[in-house]
């Protein structure tokens, strides 16, 4: 799951404890709304073109069903967290915002690797919702056996492998080109800032020179009309 996150906005994704886990928690615990849960979240932040991940960063918060924050980090490019908290089935929210001070970064791409919510009492059992399980979402059931009929053939796997290799080649070229364009943009920005600084200093010097010349002229004129000035003094 991935999307484009624009600066100045906060966008959230939600997740629930799977229904089959929630049913077990309600039968097992007296206060299911305050059960202990484990939130697993992993994501990567990239630029719009998938480059310079270390330059793109977000601030993110994880909120419980009651709206209270259970985890918070700032200026993160990629992370994997496992947080324990108290709460019900959901919704559990992960909210993202582009970090402040990101030069030339009006938007970033948020790529969610996984986001799961499990009851702590079921972690490590066959009822745990694994990040790579076939079923996803709150309505997913316990993991079951894989039907061999649903697996691809050798030829299909080879075709996919070749396609991925070509895609990797194209993406590498695009990545290198975007890095060059980004570096050139930064270089031009620094040149413009340097030119602005030198131009401003030159303008201030000219203004100071004009003011100094005007002061000298005013003083000279005043001295010319003084009654007690020395005879023959010419300015």
Residue for token pair 């005007």: 214
- ∠ CA 132-110-9, nearest 5°, is 135
Non-local CB neighbours of 43 within 8 Å, separated by 6+ positions: 60, 78, 79, 110, 111, 112, 113
Q: Which two tokens stand for residue 116?
A: 């799961």
Element (H, E) at 224: helix 154-224
Encode pLDDT of 50-100 as tens digits. 555 456 788 899 999 988 999 999 888 888 888 888 888 889 999 998 887
Q: With beta carbons less than 8 A apart as the criterion, state whether 24 and 80 touch.
A: no
Strand, coil or helix: 8: coil
10-15 and 35-46 beta bridge pairing: unpaired
Q: CA of 150: how far to CAs of 112, 122, 123, 139, 145, in Å?
A: 26, 29, 28, 21, 11
Q: How high is the pLDDT of residue 76?
A: 85
164 and 151 in contact (C-beta within 8 Å)?
no
Write down the pLDDT at residue 146.
52
**Residue 102: what pLDDT?**
58
Residue 235 has pLDDT above 60, yes or no: no
Measured over the CA atoms of residue 46, residue 42, residue 140 and residue 22, the dihedral's sign is negative
Q: pLDDT, tens digit, for every residue of 182-215?
A: 899 999 999 999 999 999 999 999 999 999 999 9
Has this prediction a pTM greater than 0.95? no
Q: Where are the beta strands (DSSP E) in 106-191?
A: 107-119
pLDDT digits (tens, 9 = 90+) for 6-60: 888 889 999 988 888 888 888 888 888 888 888 999 998 887 665 554 567 888 9
Mean pLDDT of 143-158: 66
pLDDT of residue 200: 94
């Amino acid at each position: 799951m991935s999307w484009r996150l624009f600066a100045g906005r906060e966008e959230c994704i939600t997740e629930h404890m799977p229904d089959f886990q929630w049913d077990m928690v309600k039968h097992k615990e007296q206060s299911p709304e305050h059960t202990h849960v484990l939130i697993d979240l992993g994501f990567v932040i990239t630029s719009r073109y998938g480059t310079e991940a270390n330059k793109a960063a977000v601030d993110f918060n994880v909120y419980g069903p009651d709206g209270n924050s259970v985890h918070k980090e700032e200026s993160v490019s990629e992370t994997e967290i496992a947080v324990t908290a108290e709460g019900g089935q959901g919704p559990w929210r992960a909210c993202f915002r582009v970090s402040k001070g990101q030069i030339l970064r009006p938007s970033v791409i948020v790529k969610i690797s996984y986001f799961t919510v499990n009851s702590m009492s079921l972690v490590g059992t066959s009822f745990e919702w694994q990040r790579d399980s076939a079923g996803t979402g709150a309505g997913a059931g316990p993991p079951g056996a894989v039907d061999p009929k649903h697996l691809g053939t050798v030829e299909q796997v080879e075709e996919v492998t070749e396609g991925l290799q070509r895609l990797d080649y194209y993406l590498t070229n695009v990545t290198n080109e975007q890095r060059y364009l980004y570096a050139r943009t930064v270089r031009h920005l620094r040149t413009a800032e340097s030119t602005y600084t030198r131009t401003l200093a030159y303008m201030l010097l000219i203004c100071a020179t004009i003011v100094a010349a005007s002061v000298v002229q005013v003083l000279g004129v005043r001295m010319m009309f003084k009654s007690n000035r020395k005879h023959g003094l010419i300015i």
